[in-house]
Amino acid sequence: MFERYPLGLLVILMVAVASAAFVALRPSADSDKLVFWTFTQDHQDIFREIYGPEGIVDVQLLDMQAFERRMLSGFFTGTPVADIIMVERSVASQAWRGPTEAIGFLDLTDRLEAEGLLDRINAPSQRPWTVDGRIYGLPFDVHPVMLAYRADIYDAAGIDIAQAETWDEFMEMSRPLIGDLTGNGSVDRFALEVSQMDGLSIVMLMQQAGADLFDEADQPTLNAELNVEVLTRTAQWFSGDEPVAADIPLFTGAGERLRGEGLVLAWMCPDWRARRNILYIEGLHGKLRLMPLPAWEKGGRRTSVWGGTMLGLPKNGERTEEAWEQILHLYTSPELGRTKWEKLYILSPFKDFWDDPVFDQPDPYYQNQPIGRLYLELADSVPERTPSVYFPFAAQQLADALHRTVRRMRQSGFTEYADIEPLARRELDRVQANVENLMSRNVFQ
C-alpha cells in the first residue's frame, strides 16, 4: 500500500475517517434543526438574529482549521456534515482538488437557472465557485476595493488627491507630503501601504491590471508579462532614499496604530475593511475619505477585489430541499442584504438589493460620504478570481517574489524600471516553477 500511495495521503485519509466517525456519532442538541456552519462571529451573530433562538436553523461557529478538517473529512468519506455551509474561498477551493465527480458540494447550476437567479447575481463574484462551467456555491459578497486616504492631510496641503486617475499621478501628487519630514534621517511618512509579507496586496494590484495567477485551464501564469510589469512597478515604489510605499503588517494592533499615527497616507480598502477602520482606528474618525483605486493606465480599471465567501450545500446532504429553501430565503431576503451592509459593510452580490437607500446613507467616519453607493458603483468592475485550489500557495509565493525583488533592488541601489525588471522577472520565473512543482504532485492532475 505504501508503495502505491504517498504516506501523506494515507495519513490524511485515516484522519478523515476518524474525524468523520466522530462527527457522525456525536449527538446533537438540536437534531431537528438544519445545521449551518460559518467561520466568523459576525456571520453567526447576523444569522442567529435572523432566525432567533427558536428558529429552524442552528448556526454553528467553527475555527477555520476545524472547519476545513471537518468539511473535507465529510466529503472524502461520505459522512454527514452541515446542511448549509458558509465557507471562505481558500477553504472552499480545497473541495476542487480532486476530479469533478469527487467534489463534495452540490452542483447548483440547474437550480439557479430554474430559479432565474443567474442574471441577478453580480457575474464576476460567481467565478471563484465555478469549476468546469458548473456552479457549486452562491457568492455571499462582492468586496470591491477602494482607496482609503487621509483627507485631513491632503486637504490641509491643498491637494485634491481624488483627481489622481493613475498610480503614477497619485504618487506624484503625494510626494510633497511624504519623506523625511523631521530631518532625522529616516522616512516619517509614505504615500501607500503595500504588504510584502501577505501576497494579497500584490495579487490585488495584479488583478486590477487585468492579470491573474492561473489561466482558464487552471495552469499557473505567475510569470506572465503583465505580472512582470506590475511587480516591477510595485517594487519601484520601495526604491530610493525616500520610497513612496511602506510595508505595514495587516490585521495587527501594531499595524492599525501605525496607520492611525499617519505613517501612510492611504491603503487599499475593500468594503469589509472600511468597517475595520471604524472599529480599530478610532482616532481617524472624520479624517478619512474613500476614492476609486488609481488605475495602472488612464482609462484602466479603478478597483480590485479582496476576499470571498460562498453559501453551499453538501452533495450527500439528507435535507437538501429544506436547506435549499433556506439558502434561497436568505439570499433573496432584503432584510439580510440590508443587515449585511449596516453591520458588516459587506455588499450583497444579489443585484436586486442595489437600489436600497441604505447604501446612500452618509457615513460620518468618512466625512459623510455615502460609501455604500461608492462601493456599489465599482461592483460590476471587480476582476474575476480563479477558483484554483493552489491560489493561496501562489499568492504567498508572489509575496515572497515581491520581498526578494525589493531586497535585491536595494542591495544593488537600483531605482530605474529597466534595472529592476530583470530582478522581478527572475523572481516570477522562480515562483512559477515552485507552483508548477507543487501541482505536479497532485495524483488527480
Lowest mean pLDDT among 112-126, 151-165, 170-184, 431-445: 431-445
Lowest mean pLDDT among 49-53, 191-195, 274-278, 368-372: 49-53
Q: Is the pLDDT of residue 23 over 70?
A: no
3-state secondary structure of 330: helix
**Residue whose C-alpha cell reads 483605486 in the numeric block:** 293
Find the length of the chain. 445
CATH code of the region 7-139+307-370: 3.40.190.10
Which parts of 284-390 fold into alpha helices (H)?
A: 320-331, 334-339, 371-376
Instruction: Name every residue whose Cβ is closer than 8 Å to that of residue 404 and which is 6 or more positions away in sequence.
Output: 427
Q: Of all residues in the chain, what percent are helix, strand and coil, respectively (each to 5)?
A: 50, 15, 35
Strands 309-312 and 84-88: antiparallel
For residues 328 and 115, the answer to whether their CB atoms sit within 8 Å is: yes
For residues 283 and 256, the answer to whether their CB atoms sit within 8 Å is: no
- For residue 246, what is the enclosing H or E element? strand 245-246
Cα distance between residue 388 and residue 94, in whole Å: 9
Q: Is the pLDDT of residue 160 over 80?
A: yes
Strands 34-38 and 57-61: parallel
Cα atoms found within 13 Å of the Cα of residue 34, Cβ hemisphere only: 23
Cα distance between residue 94 and residue 390, in whole Å: 9
Instruction: Name every residue whose Cβ is closer than 8 Å to that of residue 76 and which is 6 or more positions away in sequence.
Output: 13, 16, 20, 104
Instruction: Determine the pLDDT at residue 5.
Output: 47
69-94 pLDDT tens trace: 999 999 988 888 999 999 999 999 99
For residues 226 and 207, the answer to whether their CB atoms sit within 8 Å is: no
- For residue 405, what is the enclosing H or E element? helix 391-412
Instruction: Determine the pLDDT at residue 21.
Output: 52
Cα distance between residue 240 and residue 169, in whole Å: 18
What's the whole-number mean pLDDT along residues 383-392? Answer: 94
232-246 pLDDT tens trace: 999 999 999 999 999
Handedness of CA 215, 445, 39, 267 (dihedral sign): negative
What are the extents of the domains in the chain? 7-139+307-370, 146-304+384-440
Cα distance between residue 209 and residue 227, in whole Å: 8
Q: Which three cell numbers stand for residue 250?
A: 495587516
Strands 309-312 and 138-139: antiparallel
Q: Which three cell numbers stand for residue 196?
A: 510584502
Three-state SS across 211-226? CCCECCCCCECCCCHH
Backbone Cα Rg of the chain: 23
Cα distance between residue 380 and residue 153, in whole Å: 31
Cα atoms found within 13 Å of the Cα of residue 306, Cβ hemisphere only: 24
CA-wise closest residue to 130 among 100, 87, 85: 100
Q: Give CA 315 to chain center in angstroms.
A: 26
Beta-sheet strand order (sheet of 145-150): 266-270, 145-150, 288-292
| 7-139+307-370 and 146-304+384-440 have identical folds | yes
Q: Of all residues in the chain, what percent carry a pLDDT higher than 70?
A: 92
Instruction: Determine the pLDDT at residue 27.
Output: 42
Q: Of all residues in the chain, what percent carry a pLDDT higher than 90?
A: 82
b/e code 391-420 from CB counts within 10 Å (16+ = b): bbbbbbbbbbbbbbbbebbeeeebeeeeeb
Handedness of CA 298, 299, 300, 304 (dihedral sign): positive
Q: Which three cell numbers stand for residue 88?
A: 471562505
**Residue whose C-alpha cell reads 482538488 in the numeric block:** 97
Instruction: Determine the pLDDT at residue 397.
Output: 97
3-state secondary structure of 314: strand
Hey, what CATH topology would domain 146-304+384-440 get? D-Maltodextrin-Binding Protein; domain 2 (3.40.190)
**Model-level pTM greater than 0.85?**
yes
Provide the mean pLDDT of the chain: 92
